[in-house]
Homo-oligomer: A and B are copies of this chain.
Amino acid sequence: MKRKITLKQIARELEVSISTVSKALKDSDEISKDTKQKIQAFAKLYNYRPNNIALSLKNRRTKNIGVVIPDIVHHFFTTVFRGIEKYANERGYNVIVCVSDESYDKEVVNMELLANGSIDGFIMSVSAETQQKNDFHHLREVMDQGFPLVLFDRVIDEIECDKVVMNDEEIAYEATCKFLEEGKKKVALVTTESYFNVSEKRAEGYRRALVEQGADYDPKLTLVVPFRGGEESCIDAFFEEEEFDAVLCVNEVFAVQVMGIAQEKGYRVPEDISVIGFTNGLLSRYSSPTLTTIAQHGERMGEVAAEMLIEKLENEIGFEEEETYRTEIIEATLIERNSTGKKK
């Protein structure tokens, strides 16, 4: 077992000083050609690489990005993560992930840990519990300490920082319009509890479309599925109690469940009931019928988030300069498959 070689060891071996070695390896012209060659050859032979930790300590930057997300077994988040990781790697950054598991406490603890020197900045999507509690002191804390923060998807209006969001409201509007164009009359919405602000925005777009297009907005046609469990029976009951001919779902799992239950009950999709879901994942592609879906372009979101963060990291602002924050909007797109009909 050969431990990694250090400057000091090279110096001792070659009987020169540490600083000479350091300079030689940077090809400084303070050092004579001969010594440089000798040192460089030796370093190459022993495959010398500077120790990242020592560099981090010295430079006060780790070249690590902290990513805090609610869940990792989740198509959208992994997609975003892939975008982050790709862009960050290209720029020489590594990514440390922490999963909050939708828990406020974990989120806080993890971020504190990372903030003790492990990373240079954060990219995050806040946990459900955090949104519920409406307590964001941990975000303020890290920003106070000088860590750039980029929020994506589940962002917080009260926090001033860079953000990357989707045009949730508009795309929900578009999707709803699509149903109406198809000739559908009673469009339902299946959503999650509203402290997820993305759900709220999607619901707004849905409502606005109905009202503006002169269709009926009936609050009873909105089904709020509880956070964990019991979706199945919940949706089943919804079918029994209400009547509708189109359903917009805030995720693809709901959408596939809606299609399944509809078909069990003898409705045809899309002839009797059209369905659109958010999240263009595997389910959408392989369900029957295949699902018309809203692609969130998570990878792009990740790239943009990473780009914004790294820009902040590499352009540390001067004293008197005003800090400015941007909000980038990623345009979702509607992907038409077979769970919706043609325009009339």
Partner of A53, one of B57, B113, B145, B260: B57
Residues 51-107 of A at the B interface (beta carbon under 8 Å): 51-54, 56-57, 62, 64, 72-75, 78-79, 81-82, 85-86, 89, 94-99
Q: Is B116 within 8 A of A94, CB to CB?
A: no
Q: Is B1 within 8 A of A145, CB to CB?
A: yes
A239 to chain B, nearest CB (A): 17
Q: Is A94 within 8 A of B96, CB to CB?
A: yes
Q: Is B82 within 8 A of A99, CB to CB?
A: yes
Q: Indicate if A144 sits at the interface (CB-CB under 8 A).
A: yes
CB-CB under 8 A from A96, the residues of chain B are: 64, 94-97
Q: Is A72 within 8 A of B62, CB to CB?
A: no
CB-CB under 8 A from A57, the residues of chain B are: 53-54, 57
Partner of A98, one of B51, B94, B288: B94
Which partner residue on chain B sits nearest A99 by CB separation?
B85
CB-CB under 8 A from A110, the residues of chain B are: 89
Partner of A4, one of B95, B145, B288: B145
- A: residues with CB less than 8 A from B are 1-4, 49-54, 56-57, 62, 64, 72-75, 78-79, 81-82, 85-86, 89, 94-99, 110, 112-118, 144-146, 253, 256-257, 260, 263, 281-283, 286-288
Known contacts A4-B145, A95-B96; A118 and B286 CB within 8 A of each other:
no
Known: A52-B116, A94-B114. 9 other contacts (CB 8 A): A4-B117, A53-B62, A72-B78, A85-B99, A89-B110, A97-B97, A253-B282, A260-B286, A283-B286
Partner of A82, one of B62, B72, B95, B114: B72
Partner of A75, one of B52, B73, B260: B73
CB-CB under 8 A from A1, the residues of chain B are: 144-146
Which 5 residue pairs across A and B have the least CB separation, nearest first? Answer: A52-B117, A53-B117, A51-B117, A256-B286, A73-B78
Known contacts A73-B78, A78-B78, A116-B51; A144 and B286 CB within 8 A of each other:
no
CB-CB under 8 A from A97, the residues of chain B are: 85, 95-97
Q: Is B72 within 8 A of A94, CB to CB?
A: no
Q: Is B118 within 8 A of A53, CB to CB?
A: yes
Partner of A79, one of B3, B73, B112, B116: B73
Q: Is A52 within 8 A of B118, CB to CB?
A: yes
CB-CB under 8 A from A99, the residues of chain B are: 82, 85-86
Partner of A286, one of B75, B85, B94, B257: B257
Q: Is A116 within 8 A of B49, CB to CB?
A: yes
